[in-house]
Amino acid sequence: MHIHRAVARLLVPAVLLAAASGIEQIQAGPPFYTDDPEPVDYRHNEFYLFSTLDRSYGSDAIQGPAIEYNRGIARNTQFHIVLPFSGFVPADGGSAFGFGDVEIGIKYRFVEESRDRPQIGIFPMAEIDTGSAVRGLGNGRTWYRLPLWTQKSWGPWTSYGGIGRDINDAPGMRDSTFGGLLIQRELSPRLTLGGEVFRQNAPAIGARGYTLVNLGGYYNFTPGFSLLFSGGRNIAGEQHTVAYLGLYWTWGPRS
């Protein structure tokens, strides 16, 4: 979801504009980029209705309205899918809106948290080539994200983070690494706030990497319905101003 400076709009296909800026419609642990290793409980469900914005050098990458659905399909195992409506608005004029690349993945926690050790899990994802690359709404080829995440909680505090690798051989794109660290605090049963530092190395040929600081959290209207929000910007590398706003529902069988 990252946009570099717009160049030669009439001479370069929109997919190469996206590639030069590293557009990747990826959403990690809502409302943050850094994710956690904790899967949805078995036979439980999560549903998000959300929008994201990434502004870079006057160009906007938009995702939304989009939906995310997660379900616990086995112990310590979660199925994940994102269906996005996407937009690309270059700084030099023109815009495109339509269906973007579909994201699917499986989160698996192979170490559970105890008093003395963190929980650890993997969350491999595939970004399916369903959006129009020519219009700047897709990557052009299916690509993959392979992260390892850890998490530890103490009292009202929780911290999670990790590192991963993007595998992307679309025209103009390149393999890259990413990683993040987040800390958050439950201020009340309704309100949790946190902040993260997230690093993405250059995901495209001719692009630069960047480091984001992002602040946000969630407000629980009920135990099963919440508002999620975050906003931030780069502190190094390419210019990015980012935001997330979403609604969250969760449900499942009672214990």
Annotate 44-83 with three-state secondary structure. CEEEEEEEEEEEECCEEEEEEEEEEEEEEEECCEEEEEEE
pLDDT, tens digit (0-9, with 9 covering 90-100), for 159-185: 999 999 999 999 999 999 999 999 999
186: in domain = yes
Task: Give Cα separations from 142 to 64, 118, 180, 206 (angstroms).
Answer: 20, 32, 24, 21
155: in domain = yes
141: in domain = yes
pLDDT, tens digit (0-9, with 9 covering 90-100), for 203-255: 999 999 999 999 999 999 999 999 999 999 999 999 999 999 999 999 999 86
pLDDT (0 to 100) of residue 2: 35
5: in domain = no
CATH number of the domain within which 54 lies: 2.40.160.40
| Residue 29 belongs to domain spanning | 14-246
Identify whether the C-beta of residue 65 lies closer than 8 Å to the C-beta of residue 85: yes
7: in domain = no
pLDDT, tens digit (0-9, with 9 covering 90-100), for 91-145: 887 889 999 999 999 999 999 999 999 999 999 999 999 999 888 889 999 999 9
CA distance 11 to 92: 13
> Domain tally for the chain?
1
Task: Give Cα separations from 232 to 182, 210, 228 (angstroms).
Answer: 13, 13, 14
252: in domain = no
196: in domain = yes
251: in domain = no
pLDDT, tens digit (0-9, with 9 covering 90-100), for 34-65: 999 999 999 999 999 999 999 998 889 999 89
